Amino acid sequence: MAGPLSHITVIELAGIGPGPFACMILADLGANVIRIDRPPAPGRSRVDDLMRNDGVVDRGRRSLSLNMKDPRAVQAVLGLVRKADVLIEGYRPGVAEKLGLGPAECMAVNPLVVYGRMTGWGQTGPLAECAGHDINYIALSGALHAIGTRARPLPPLNLAGDYGGGGMLLVIGVLAALAERQSSGRGQVVDAAMTDGAALLMAPIYGMMAKGFWRDERESNLLDGAAHFYGTYRCADGRFVSIGAIEPQFYEKLLQLCGIDDPHFRRQWEQSEWAALRTKLESVFASRTREQWCELLEGSDACFAPVLSMTEVRSHPHNAARGTFVAASDGVVQPAPAPRFDRTPVELPAKAPRAGEHTRELLARAGASPDLIDELLRESVAYEGAGSAVS
């Protein structure tokens, strides 16, 4: 494998959402990620199909499928932990311990292992045992309150909780623990909670509020849709463009290129004028198509970009030049691994494995003999499956 983490082995106890996303990033950076999948179960519901991992986020793994209710399966996982650097789990607090794969059991066989725990509410606190999803976790941080229209909060997909405040935070924690291990010679537990991560992402906004530059009301501030110079506008063809001309020189460039000489626009920072100026700017942008605005503004310092759909992004010249989106061998378009490295470049990992695709190989790596592997497969403790990946 290419990438700066090619010397790292990660054991992933399969789950949904931010844990798999964190493991995708680690795999993208070159880590050898071994996913422990549950055997496929009949009668999966539509919700199961919706929530299970997809071929993009699951890329770059090898899969071992085990029935974790059998002690022999737990021993196989511990055999892999013995040679691993990181274990990541996303169960409710206490579930991994009940399986016999908690921090104590894993560190008993490998004191160097970094044990990453991904939850919504965290390992402690009054809500730690409760179910929840991204929208609930960002609600508790103040992030959801700040996003949306004046009439109601709107969830920003599940980016601020699951992925930014969850998976990304877990990756940072794991890498920090690996760096600390170099000096201490010891592993440790990383408790990554989406509520904590979403709160952390809000630090700049809380900072602005502390200085009196942010009102605790939606659509009342510089970055939340109130300012006419920071927002989106509908064009003549029904498509949208984005404007972020905050600084005076960029704002001036926007007015110049748009041919706006109305003196009203000189009152950029008078908040009482923002609504009226937005209405005027809406009329300006409605006069041309998105493509015409791209021809006029793209590549300038007007802080402009077209609002592209997910089906358009790959063909944009900038994305194409950087290879921001790539197509896997099966034709699925997806974001390329990032960031970029000059000495240890990364590449798109292999597509998502089938559940159990590498079961024999990984059981052997865990120390199981050929006879034991046959026994585990015969008794349905291990599964060597075909078909789609299952989590």
Torsion sign (Cα): 159, 161, 164, 168: negative
Tell which residue, 230, 118, 109, has the closest CA to residue 165: 118
Three-state SS for 193? strand
In the 8-state DSSP scheme, what is residue 127?
T
Structure tokens at 175: 């890498």
* Tokens 């894993």 belong to residue: 106
Instruction: Calculate the dihedral angle through the C-alpha atoms of 367, 368, 370, 374, rounding to the nearest 10 degrees.
Output: -160
Whole-number Cα distances in Å, 275 to 205, 220, 240, 260, 304? 22, 10, 19, 17, 20
Half-sphere exposure at residue 357, Cβ-oriented, CA atoms within 13 angstroms: 17
Amino acid at 102: G
For 148-158, letters b (16+ CB in 10 Å) and e give beeeebebbeb
Half-sphere exposure at residue 193, Cβ-oriented, CA atoms within 13 angstroms: 20
Q: Which active-site residues does the annotation give?
A: 133, 162
Instruction: Return d(Cα 88, Cα 15) in angstroms, integer.
Output: 10
